[in-house]
Every structure is written in C-alpha cells, then in structure tokens.
C-alpha cells in the first residue's frame, strides 16, 4: 500500500466483532474508527475523511440501510460502503442499486474481506 493510510470505519453493535475487525484492519495498516450504531457512525463519517465503511445491517438507533440512505441523500461522494449481515431480505444486486459497494455475509472470512476491499479501493483509485 502507498504512504497514505486508508481510513475505514466499522459500525457494529457487537463489541467483540467490532474489536476483531478493527484489529484485522489495523494489522493491514488501515486507520480504523469504530461505532456501536448507525447514528454514531454517521456522526464520525461526516466529521472525518473516510475511505471505506463497513456497517452491520441490524443495529439500534439506525440500521445499515438507513445509514446508506442518509449518505446517498447527502449529495456528497460517500466512500465504499459494505453492508454486513447474517440474514437480510435483500440481494447484493439490490443493495448495489441502493448505492452500496457490496454485501458481506456473516459469518465472514476477514482475509477475504480485506482482499475484496483492497481490490475495490484500487479500482476506485484507477477510475478517478
């Protein structure tokens, strides 16, 4: 990766999962922010420069889909957005139509997520 650290925010109401994911991204040299719900996450996203958002779908205060809707309606160029969930009544294609980058199904493999995000970040960089 280049000299600039990529900043990721991980939003999940499960503290153990939040910590495991944060540790994995930090080991890959990402700067990591965490939030326990969508409202906290939105506050951090709007006050920080973020490259990647990983949000749980079902959380108190604001769900992942509500967060995505807020970002999409803000008329700003929001970062890559991944929704993680165990069971949800939406396909990855439908999620992408709503503006997300992708769907991450729980349980997930952190190495696969890290690789997928790395590829998506490089693709976005090359497109700009």
Angle between helices 15-27 and 110-127 (to 10 degrees): 60
Measured distance CA(118)–CA(112) in Å, rounded: 10
Measured distance CA(75)–CA(62) in Å, rounded: 19
pTM confidence score: 0.88
Where do the structural domains in the chain lie, given as residue ranges?
7-127
Q: pLDDT tens for the chain, 128 residues: list them.
A: 444 789 999 999 999 989 999 999 999 999 999 999 999 999 999 999 999 999 998 888 898 999 999 998 887 777 889 888 766 678 888 888 988 898 888 777 889 889 999 999 988 888 87
Measured distance CA(35)–CA(43) in Å, rounded: 9
pLDDT at 103: 84
**The token pair that represents 53 in the structure block:** 């958002």
- According to DSSP, residue 54 is labeled E
CATH topology of domain 7-127: Rossmann fold (3.40.50)
Instruction: Name residue 83's beta-bridge partners.
Output: 55, 103
Q: Measured between alpha carbons, how far is residue 34 from residues 3, 8, 76, 89, 108 in Å?
A: 22, 8, 21, 26, 18
pLDDT at 1: 43
């Amino acid at each position: 990766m280049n000299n600039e650290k990529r900043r990721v925010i991980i939003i999940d109401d499960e503290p153990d999962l939040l910590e495991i994911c944060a540790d994995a991204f930090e080991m890959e040299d990402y700067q990591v922010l965490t939030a326990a719900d969508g409202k906290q996450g939105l506050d951090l996203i709007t006050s920080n420069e973020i490259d990647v958002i990983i949000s749980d779908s079902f959380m108190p205060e604001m769900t992942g889909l509500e967060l995505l809707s807020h970002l999409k309606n803000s008329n700003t160029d929001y970062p890559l957005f991944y929704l993680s969930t165990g069971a949800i009544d939406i396909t990855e294609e439908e999620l992408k139509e709503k503006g997300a980058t992708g769907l991450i199904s729980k349980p997930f493999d952190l190495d696969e997520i890290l690789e997928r995000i790395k590829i998506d970040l490089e693709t976005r960089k090359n497109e700009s």
